[in-house]
Amino acid sequence: MANKVQNPETDIMVETKGKLELFFDKYGNMLLKGLTIVAVIAVAAFIWVSISSNNKQKSENAAQAALTVALTTEADAATYAAIVAEYEGTKAANTAAYLAGAEYLKAGDIENAKAYLAQYVDAEGAAAEIINALVYTLRGDVAVEENDLQTAVELFGKAMVAGNSLYTYETAATKLALVYLAMGDAEKAQQTYKDMVAKYPELQSKYSKFIAE
């Protein structure tokens, strides 16, 4: 009878297979349970993200609806402030912060105006850029009320570049010129008018009297 030839590689495979069988006999249930837990967590995470996204959209819709009602009923500052509080983190609440600040400033409540305008976060988009510019202008108005003219200069300057709108630019520029005059700097005030007319030639006749020949 021929001697059986020993094959080291075969021996290793047999030994390895045996160890794997023992491993799975001992830990198979534990591994299966672990994989099941991971799968459940993954599914739960997916469901949570879906629900969270859905809830966020619902909150945005509700906030926008509340803001629309407030705008169409000429609401007061307190109404806009309530939207900010109830729908914090939504785009509509961000806009409401601007409106609350504007109404408080109109009413002469500088502290609340300052507080709500500070909550506004610059937004993106053509319409949002106009609001961004208006917020900087209102913050400049608050600074003027607090007699912080240097800060007012900075804020009106930001308003002039924040939105691509004749209205927001003109509003901020004329306020900036007046602040320069209050600071005793007639040259910078005049230059502000010149820059405005250079950017918007249609305003030439309106402000020519403020520009020296």
Contact 90, 63 (CB under 8 A): yes
Predicted pLDDT of residue 50: 44
> Per mean pLDDT, which range of 8-22, 36-50, 58-72, 169-183 is the poorest?
36-50
Per the confidence metrics, is the pTM higher than 0.85? no
- pLDDT cut 70: percent of the chain above it: 73
- Other beta carbons within 10 Å of 91: 16
pLDDT of residue 30 exceeding 80? no
Q: In the 3-class helix/strand/coil scheme, how is 43-80 assigned residue by residue? A: HHHHHHHHHHHHHHHHHHHHHHHHHHHHHHCCCCHHHH
First to last CA, the chain: 123
Predicted pLDDT of residue 25: 54
Per-residue tokens: 129: 């850029």
Query: CA torsion, points 194, 199, 203, 208, in degrees to nearest 10?
Result: 20
Run of H or E residues at 123: none
Contact 153, 180 (CB under 8 A): yes
Predicted pLDDT of residue 164: 81
Taking each helix axis from N to C terminus, what angle separates 126-145 and 91-106, rounded to the nearest 10 degrees?
30
> Per mean pLDDT, which range of 2-6, 25-29, 86-90, 165-169 is the poorest?
2-6
> Per mean pLDDT, which range of 8-22, 74-88, 134-148 is the poorest?
8-22
Would you identify the CATH topology of the domain 125-213?
1.25.40
Per-domain boundaries in the chain: 49-121, 125-213
Summarised one tens digit per residue, pLDDT across range 147-195 is: 999 999 999 999 999 988 999 999 999 999 999 999 999 999 999 999 9
Find, among 72, 82, 80, the residue nearest to 98 by Cα: 80
> From residue 185, how far is each of 136, 148, 192 by CA, in Å?
22, 16, 11
- Where does residue 96 rank: exposed (0-12), middle (13-18), buried (19+ CB within 10 A)? buried
pLDDT of residue 47 exceeding 50? no
pLDDT of residue 82 exceeding 50? yes
